[in-house]
């Protein structure tokens, strides 16, 4: 690409800096697949991170903002600011039933109508490099880089994105591009072109992350606030009936959330990738360096972390 890419920064290099937790901005297309909701629950349940901002991205962002607001309101976390990102359609959310009767105007926390600017301002205000966690298509990130390219020197990116050697359903070759990249190829190319470090969990690493049996039951039967909110949304999700009664759907995005602060349970590899016109993330000697999660050292430990974060008492 001819770009000067900054030295890759691993999550563990940043762990010791902030006493209150690693500062994180979440950029999410919550309200489509349910895994974003599980990921937000995990984010709020991990003391290792401090959520500086949640920005809704892609799709019907006003409704997505209402969903985030109701979750935070229900959990007593109105201290977390919300940014309304770029709206790309008017589609109803797949968790619309859970939102019935909730008025966004009742939210007592801060809602930034210009979520892109809020993202820029939060990065620039951080006294140390901030982690930008993206778990959906990224038109917000492209717009932010256009407004202020300098943010790439003050942040690192962790993303659920792409498929390198495996596709959906553990297929040995990616038959089709991963959704987050395919939905907005231009925006992901802009993210890849910026000189920040990028860590991804592609389908190779997160495409099989389903909670089953006893671990799923611990979340489903828990009275803990995070677990209750996640399960209410999962049961209200329009695609719930497609999945077994005793299991989650694929929780892709929870893995990216974990990689924001640690990767010790994961098999990581530094690769050079480029993005094809159809959205496939392709190994390429001329591509940009990306730290990739390609498998597990200890998946059981990650699942325990996820369950414990959601089911712990406040």
**94-133 pLDDT tens trace:** 999 999 999 999 999 999 999 999 999 999 999 999 999 9
**275-310 pLDDT tens trace:** 999 999 999 999 999 999 999 999 999 999 999 999
Distances (CA, A) of 84 to 61, 166, 309: 6, 33, 27
Tokens of 170: 């553990």
2 has a pLDDT exceeding 90? no
Please give the pLDDT value at position 134.
98
- The listed CATH number (3.40.50.2300, 3.40.50.300, 3.40.920.10, 3.90.245.10) that belongs to domain 11-311: 3.90.245.10
Per-residue DSSP letters for 17-74?
Answer: S-TT-EEEEEEE-TTSSTHHHHHHHHHHH-TTEEEEEEEE-SS-HHHHHHHHHHHHHH
Please give the pLDDT value at position 137.
98
Closest by CA to 114, choosing from 60, 55, 184, is: 55
What's the mean per-residue pLDDT of the chain?
A: 93
- Contact 33/40 with Cβ under 8 angstroms? no
Please give the pLDDT value at position 8.
35
DSSP state of 206: H
Please give the pLDDT value at position 230.
98
132 vs 135: CA distance, rounded Å: 10
**207-266 pLDDT tens trace:** 999 999 999 999 999 999 999 999 999 999 999 999 999 999 999 999 999 999 999 999
- Map out the domains of the chain as residue ranges: 11-311
Share of the chain above pLDDT 70, in %: 93
Of 169 and 312, which is predicted with more confidence?
312
118 phi, psi to nearest 5 deg: -60, -40
Please give the pLDDT value at position 3.
32
Instruction: Look up tokens 């077994």; give the residue.
Output: 244
Please list, in sequence order, all residues whose beta carbon lies within 8 angstroms of the beta carbon of residue 59, skipping any fewer than 6 positions away: 29, 31, 32, 87, 88, 89, 91
Please list, in sequence order, all residues whose beta carbon lies within 8 angstroms of the beta carbon of residue 105, skipping any fewer than 6 positions away: none
Please list, in sequence order, all residues whose beta carbon lies within 8 angstroms of the beta carbon of residue 93, skipping any fewer than 6 positions away: 31, 32, 60, 63, 64, 67, 99
- For residue 116, how many C-alpha atoms fall within 13 Å in the half-sphere facing its CB? 16
Instruction: Look up tokens 């205000």; give the residue.
Output: 125
């Amino acid at each position: 690409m001819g770009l000067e890419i900054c030295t890759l920064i691993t999550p563990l290099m940043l762990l010791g800096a902030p006493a209150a937790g690693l500062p994180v901005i979440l950029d999410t297309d919550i309200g489509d697949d349910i895994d974003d909701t599980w990921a937000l629950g995990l984010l709020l349940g991990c003391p290792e991170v401090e959520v500086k901002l949640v920005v809704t991205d892609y799709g019907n962002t006003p409704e997505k903002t209402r969903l985030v607001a109701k979750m935070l309101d229900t959990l007593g976390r109105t201290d977390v600011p919300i940014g309304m990102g770029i709206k790309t359609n008017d589609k109803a959310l797949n968790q619309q039933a859970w939102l019935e009767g909730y008025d966004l105007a009742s939210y007592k926390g801060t809602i930034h109508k210009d979520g892109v600017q809020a993202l820029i301002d939060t990065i620039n205000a951080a006294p140390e490099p901030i982690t930008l966690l993206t778990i959906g298509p990224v038109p917000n990130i492209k717009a932010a880089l256009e407004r202020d390219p300098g943010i790439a020197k003050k942040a690192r990116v962790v993303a659920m994105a792409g498929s390198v050697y495996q596709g959906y359903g553990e297929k040995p070759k990616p038959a089709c591009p991963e959704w987050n990249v395919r939905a907005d190829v231009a925006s992901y190319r802009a993210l890849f072109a910026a000189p920040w470090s990028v860590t991804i969990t592609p389908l190779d690493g997160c495409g099989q992350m389903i909670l089953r049996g006893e671990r799923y039951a611990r979340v489903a039967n828990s009275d803990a606030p995070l677990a209750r909110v996640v399960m209410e949304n999962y049961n209200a999700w329009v695609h719930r009936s497609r999945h077994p009664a005793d299991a989650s759907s694929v929780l892709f995005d929870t893995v990216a959330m974990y990689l924001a602060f640690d990767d010790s349970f994961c098999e990581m590899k530094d690769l050079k990738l480029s993005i094809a016109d159809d959205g496939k993330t392709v190994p390429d000697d001329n591509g940009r360096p990306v730290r990739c999660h390609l498998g597990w050292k200890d998946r059981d430990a990650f699942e325990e972390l996820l369950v414990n974060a959601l089911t712990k008492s406040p």
